[in-house]
Structure 1
Amino acid sequence: ALEASLGYENFREGPDRLGWLMNLSTDSLEDTSTGKIHSCVNCYFQCQDGSAFKAQVKFAPYFYVGVRDNAEAEVEAYLRRKYEGRILETEVVAKEDLDMKNHLAGLKHKYLKVSFYNVQDLMEARKEVLPLARRNAQREETVLAYDGLGQEQRAGTAHRLEDFLDNIVEVREYDVPYHVRFCIDTEVRCGLWFKARARGGNIELERCKDLLAFAEVKVVAFDIETS
């Protein structure tokens, strides 16, 4: 209500709107069809005619889970059961791992990309998974140091582990701030023109690369001596 009174009506439906992105903030909104709470980013725009609007863009927070070789399916199934109702989706992705001795050869490591409905769900899962991964990684280093267990042998033992938790050995990109992750993945930046589209209850942003001039925004600055 406050933002609307200041001229930033929430854009949910209607024709596409063109705006210059001035600022953004993190927020959450409820999916009316499912009742799920989704994390989103509030994007504040100024139009060419001087008017303004706000667009709430859904974006699923996520982190990567590193597992033992050939144990991706087992760990994925376990995480889905463990955090049912919190995980939005999971997928196996290949990423460059600079810790690999031969990463310059173009080899990639498989990770589980675990996406959540909101930041709170991610934080609760991270609180449990991260200490577990660190414990397993430390245990693996100890085994390698004392037994000289090779990579091929360890890959074979992954299938014989009864506890799926032992297959989780690392968590990556769990500490990237939500708004930073949004900007990196979507390439959304303040100070650029975007076209906002409402599609099926979701807002999509498309950058207008042909518009280079800055919008004529009004800036109000408060001095520290203002009473």
Structure 2
Amino acid sequence: MEEDEFEENVGNNDDFTEDIVASAGLGLSLEKRFERLSQSDRIDQLPEFEERIGWLYNLQPCELFDEERRRFVSALDLYFIGDIGDRFKISVIYPPYFYVGAKVGRENDVDAYLSKRYHNRFLSCDLVAKEDLEKICLTIKKNTPKFFDLDLPNHLAGIQRTFIRLRFHDIDDLIKARKELQPIVKRNAEREKEQQSRPELAVLKRATSSNPSSDLLVDCLSNANVAEKQIDGIIELCEFDVPYHIRVCIDLKINVGLWYGVRGQSKSGPQNQLVLKPDLIEQPEPIVFAFDIECTKMPLKFPTAASDQ
């Protein structure tokens, strides 16, 4: 079974994609992306030991050019008001990612398939343990508390499952991979539903694959069966629709309206770029520019540029 058989064209009907494309600069030419990058002032070049105190008041997704990898990477611009009233911003590089759910016991097969398929497009592919929300909901619905570990601070966190995490250089690569994997998930779900309604198909498939008619048939089907087994193990995609700026803020515990010690880009990772200053509680007085747009329109209709002012 060839991999290309599973690649289908999926319509771009996701609401979150529009926000991602607009904020991350997707769809722009390479020249425009470099021009947009050069117009942004940053203090990322400061040595990591130089620290400034700032009150975070805004953030915006962006992209930077990685000189080492010679490609664009996703980042988050953070805007600060300094302790003396000055304003500055830094860019925090953080790779976007989503999770791939596999059938229980097939995680390594799926991991091997994804590593081979996206080896030149993703940043890393690793196995991680996360809460199995589906099983948690079923357990609560069935009222079976014996599965809960009540000694944990969050007793629901004890029900975990292994996922494959795909981390990418930028949002563009993430969206492309998501579009390629969604048809596979859909097809596997339909196949699983059909097998549940007609279990004799699964028995026939196992009998056919375990009793080939000749050694030549075994050689021909061996590689195809391995690829098919790996692909069939993909059953869901998780957290692919989390907006990039929210993802970074959740993972790095970034909150607007707090004081931070701000450093330049650190070789040890983005976690060391921001140090929360909980002892600073007095807030600055930012200047806020707010405006409203007024226009004419017909009763019970939306404004139109052709007739309204």
TM-score tier after normalising by the smaller chain length: 0.7 to 0.9
Moved over 6 A (4+): none
Which is greater in Rg?
Answer: 2
- 1:48 is matched with which residue? 83
1 CA distance for matches of 2:253 and 2:269? Answer: 18
Alignment of 1:17-28 (within 5 A): 17-28=52-63
Q: Hey, what does 1:87 align to over in structure 2?
A: 122
Question: Which of these residues, 274, 282, 289, is aligned with residue 220 of structure 1?
Answer: 289
With over 3 angstroms needed to count, the CA separation of the structure-2 counterparts of 1:80 and 1:66, relative to structure 1, is same
Q: Say whether residues 1:10 and 2:43 are aligned partners.
A: yes
- Structure 1 CA distance, aligned partners of 2:170 and 2:256? 23
Q: Deviations over 1:181-201 (max 9, x none)?
A: 111111111111111122239
Whether the 8 Å contact between 1:94 and 1:108 is mirrored in structure 2 is yes
Selected match of 1:197 from 257, 263, 266: 263
Q: TM-score when scaled to structure 1?
A: 0.84
Residues of 2 paired with 1:140 and 1:61: CA distance? 30
Q: How many residues align?
A: 213
2:276 matches 1:207? yes
Flag structure 1 segments of 5+ consecutive residues without an equivalent: none
Match of 1:88, SS state, is: strand
1:120 alignment counterpart: 172
The answer as to whether partners of 2:113 and 2:227 remain within 8 angstroms in 1 is no
Cα distance in 2, alignment partners of residues 87 and 3 from structure 1: 26
**Residue 113 of structure 2 corresponds to which residue in structure 1?**
78
Q: Deviations over 1:129-170 (max 9, x none)?
A: 012112212211221233298xxx9xxx9xx75412111111
Cα deviation, residue 102, structure 1: 4.1
SS at match of 1:24: strand
Question: What is the rounded CA distance, in whole Å, between the counterparts of 1:90 and 1:2 in structure 2?
Answer: 34
Gap change, CA 1:108 and 1:200, over 3 Å in 2:
closer
Gaps of 5+ in 2: 1-37, 148-157, 211-224, 295-309
Contact in 1 for aligned 2:100/2:234 (Cα 8 Å) = yes
Moved more, 139-148 or 20-29: 139-148
Task: Please say if residues 97 and 174 of structure 2, whose CA atoms lie closer than 8 Å, have aligned partners that are also in contact.
Answer: yes
Query: Could you tell me how far apart the structure 2 residues matched to 1:93 and 1:102 are?
Result: 22
The structure 2 residue matched to 1:33, chosen from 68, 72, 80, is 68
